[in-house]
Amino acid sequence: MKEVMAIIRMNMINKTKQELSKEGFPSLTARKVLGRGKKKVDFSLIQNLVNQHVMEAPQLAEEVSEQHRLVPKRLLTMIVNDEDVKKVVSIIMEVNSTGSPGDGKIFVLPIMETIRVRTGETGTAAI
C-alpha cells in the first residue's frame, strides 16, 4: 500500500474529487493548508507602485509580502494499493496541470501497516 499526498490549488478540489471518484477512488482526506514554493517576491514592483504614489511604501510592502508568504492550497491524502498508484497520480496530474507555477506537488510514500479501528481488520481489508 502507498499513501498519495497531493497539494493542489483550492479551486481544483471539487473537480479532482469528482474525477477520482468517477475512476473508482472515492476515499480521501482533504485539508486546507498554507504554503509556498520557490518563487520569490519581486520587490521592484513595490518600488514602482510607491514611485507612482499608488500606496505608501510601508503599507504596500506589508500587503505584498504578506500575500506572497503563504498561499492557500488543499492537501489531499489517499491510501491506495500499489497497483493503483500510477492511475491515481495520473488522474491528479491530468485534472490539476495548467502549465503554470503553483499547479501543485504529489508525494508517494510507503505504508507499513493499516488497521481499521472499528473492526481490527488489517492490510488491504482495512482500506
- Picking from 75, 83, 73, the residue whose alpha carbon sits closest to that of residue 127 is 83
For the stretch 41-75, pLDDT in tens is: 555 655 665 566 555 556 555 655 555 578 899 99
Place of cell 514611485: 51
Residue type, 69: R
Fold category of 2-37+71-126 in CATH: Alpha-Beta Plaits (3.30.70)
Domain ranges of the chain: 2-37+71-126
Is pTM, for the whole model, over 0.85? no
For the stretch 66-95, pLDDT in tens is: 555 788 999 999 999 999 999 999 999 999
**What is the per-residue burial (b if ≥16 Cβ within 10 Å, else e) of 94-116?**
ebbeeeeeeebebeeeeeeeeee
